[in-house]
A and B are shown apart, each in its own frame.
Chain A
Amino acid sequence: NAGVTQTPKFQVLKTGQSMTLQCAQDMNHEYMSWYRQDPGMGLRLIHYSVGAGITDQGEVPNGYNVSRSTTEDFPLRLLSAAPSQTSVYFCASSPDRNYGYTFGSGTRLTVV
């Protein structure tokens, strides 16, 4: 099993550009989430999903879109990148609320 795979690992964007961060898991997990990690602020939840076709907003959803058309994939779209979106992004998945989440290795995004 590959676990949770995130691509790309690094990305530099110009302000106003759009892009999609990819996340795929091969464990048939229903729950998937996107977090951003900024120094001194821990991990903040952007969007999450409890199954294909079901998504909801977390703490900091503005500027990001998600969709969940399959169980395996949960892409995160940046609509118009801003310097405030410079961060490390983590995708995670879990089979249920008691199991614990498996995290990807992260995408380091810089917006200039």
Chain B
Amino acid sequence: GDSVTQMEGPVTLSEEAFLTINCTYTATGYPSLFWYVQYPGEGLQLLLKATKADDKGSNKGFEATYRKETTSFHLEKGSVQVSDSAVYFCALHASGGYNKLIFGAGTRLAVHP
């Protein structure tokens, strides 16, 4: 079945460091891909998305490119801030008749001043 695999955390960085969180997926057809962020004690918020191969999603300095050849959707940010500390979830919405949003396990990011 469809699945999403994320790098295990926690990821600990200093402020202004470069961030990469790896995400790979397994799916039939052409899924849509998403990154969500969850701040402590809150629900999930959509961070960015890409709906077809080679699309780049971006928001708040974060970027991710839909790579069908490597089935990946890695999250990057050039300079993280303390306020970026949160849990990040990669997710896919399957194509065809499978109308389900499936999540990876999440990666906790801690940014220190």
CB within 8 Å of B: which residues of A? 31, 33, 35, 40-45, 48, 50, 56, 58, 90, 92, 94, 97-98, 100-106
Contact = CB atoms under 8 A, between A and B. Distances in A.
B93 interface: yes
Interface residues of B, number: 22
B2 to A, nearest CB: 11
Interface string B55-77: 00000000000000000000000
Contacts of A45: 100-102
Contacts of A50: 99
23 contacts: A31-B99, A33-B100, A35-B103, A41-B105, A43-B103, A44-B103, A48-B99, A50-B99, A58-B100, A90-B43, A90-B44, A97-B32, A97-B94, A98-B32, A98-B51, A98-B93, A100-B34, A100-B49, A101-B46, A103-B36, A104-B43, A105-B43, A106-B43
Interface in B2-28: none
Given A90-B43, A90-B44, A106-B43, A101 B104 contact: no
Contacts of B105: 40-42
Contacts of B103: 35, 42-44
Contacts, number: 53
A106 B100 CA distance: 19
Grouping DSSP codes into helix (H, G, I), strand (E, B) and loop, the B interface class, with mixed when no group exceeds half, is strand
Nearest to A91: B43
A104 to B, nearest CB: 6
Grouping DSSP codes into helix (H, G, I), strand (E, B) and loop, the A interface class, with mixed when no group exceeds half, is strand
Interface string B75-111: 0000000000000010001110001111111100000
